[in-house]
Amino acid sequence: MIKKDESVEITWKNGETTLLPNLWLRDNCACDVCRNTQTTEKLFQLAQVDVNLMPETVDLIEDELHLLWPDGHRSVYEGSAIRALTIPQTTHLRLWSSEFRPQQFDYGKFTHNDSIAVDAIENFLSTGTILLTNAPTKECLENLAPMLGPLRETVFGRIHNVVVDSTGYNVASTNLELPPHTDLPSYSWPPSVQALHMLVNETEHGESIIVDGFAVATQFRNAHPNWFDRLCYTPVPFRIFDDNNETFATQPIIQLDTGGQIAGVRYSNQTMQPMNPVRTGLNEFYSAYHEFSTRITSDKAKAIFRLEGGQILLVAGHRVLHARKEFVANAKRHLQDAYFEHDNIRNHLTVIQRRLRKIGNTSLQ
Ligand SMILES: [Fe+2]
Ligand SMILES: [Zn+2]
């Protein structure tokens, strides 16, 4: 155990060493004074101690780290818990292109069978899309709330009807081709999950198209790193409005997380607004945007299939772009969509997994 000015170097029993900052150690004391015993929430406030705080003594007893602080406070840490925090947590994403098809899950089983719901949600989190089959051919998206919900409402409504409508506020309400896009880019935080429920589809053509925005952005990054950066750091205005509503957000096309990983794609040719034409670097932005658009709309990126009545396509709204081909408006076509949030879906996954483990444990007794 070596005490340094700012840190303590611990050598564990297996010979591994970890450098632990003094303030991190004090901040993470798990004793009954520093944590609320009912909720486990932290009570200790870092500002209570001096910024140059150092422990008086440091002892490793078996795999437990015991510290004594200058004010007499004692802290004990499990070595295994500290080491677990040093392992990076990565989410496994399966990127895909045109030959990919969303995995299918039966709607009734998804909504009533926990094991199938876990499979489906894990698959969704990894690929960004799944297809629910044998769903009702009447309004039912509210029924997905126990597994995915609550619904994310926007000012444009809760359940959206997409039918040919001459008064509609966007191109979805026509029979025209709808190019790949993500929904509601005019919100600072667009809905992160979208359910597209086909109630009836008796028209010719109008095939559904999905594009893995993360796969396209990854290839684009590898091929043109400077242009990729340009799309990450140039804010772009988007607007969606109707007679009663006006939504507007200025955000980059590609969003990175703090580790530099692709965290979101915001792409909607139809709702993008003119940028300041004298903005510095606009020519380079447009070269980058041209290349990215070419890749997004390329046949190599598009998974194309027909969405039939009674099918619900789930897509990750910050990752997977959706589109449809033009159709002949001579028969019925009725799609409904609603939005959910990724955080809530991950919550449901954890809760369902806990429920399954409980049942598993009970049946073993
Ligand atoms: Fe859309
Ligand atoms: Zn404590």
Q: Which ligand is nearest to the CA of 185?
A: 1
Residue 304's DSSP bridge partners are: 209
Question: pLDDT, tens digit, for every residue of 68-84?
Answer: 999 999 999 999 999 99
**Residue 1 pLDDT more than 90?**
no
pLDDT digits (tens, 9 = 90+) for 112-130: 999 999 999 999 999 999 9
Radius of gyration of the chain (CA): 26
Using the mean position of ligand 1's atoms as its centre, give its distance from the Cα of residue 59 in Å.
59
Residue 321 in contact with residue 210, Cβ under 8 Å? Answer: yes
Given a cut of 50, whether residue 191 has pLDDT beyond it is yes
For the CA atoms of 68, 70, 73, 79, what is the dihedral angle to 10 degrees? -30
Distance 71 CA to ligand 2 centre (A): 11
Going from the Cα of 136 to the center of ligand 1, the distance in angstroms, rounded, reads 21
Q: How far apart are the CA of 32 and the centre of ligand 1, in A?
A: 51
Per-residue pLDDT, 247: 98
| Residue 330: CB atoms within 10 Å | 10
Ligand found nearest the CA of 172: 1
The domain limits of the chain are 2-85, 103-351
- Quote the pLDDT of residue 363: 58
Q: Contact 201/349 with Cβ under 8 angstroms?
A: no
pLDDT digit string, tens, across residues 48-61: 999 999 999 999 99
What is the C-alpha to C-alpha distance for residues 357 and 157, in angstroms, rounded to an integer? Answer: 38
Average pLDDT for 163-173: 78
d(CA 174, CA 329): 9
CA of 58 to the centre of ligand 2 (A): 15
pLDDT beyond 60 at 227? yes
* Cα(178) to centroid(ligand 1), Å: 8
Alpha-carbon dihedral 287, 290, 291, 296, rounded to 10 degrees: 160
Cα(278)–Cα(275) distance, rounded to whole angstroms?
9
Alpha helices in the chain (DSSP H): 22-27, 79-85, 107-112, 114-127, 145-148, 213-223, 225-233, 282-296, 342-364
What confidence tier does 365 reach under pLDDT thresholds 50, 70, 90? very low
Residue 291 structure tokens: 């290349």
CA of 183 to the centre of ligand 1 (A): 5
Q: Residue 170 pLDDT > 80, yes or no? A: no
Write down the CATH number for the domain with range 2-85.
3.30.2020.30
**% of the chain surpassing 90 pLDDT:** 89
Q: Give residue-wise pLDDT tens across range 251-278.
A: 999 999 999 999 999 999 999 999 999 9
| CA 88 to ligand 1 center in whole angstroms | 35
| pTM of this structure | 0.93
Q: Tell me, in angstroms, the distance from the centre of ligand 2 to residue 51's CA.
A: 17
Fold entry, domain 103-351: Double-stranded beta-helix (3.60.130)
pLDDT at position 190 over 80: yes
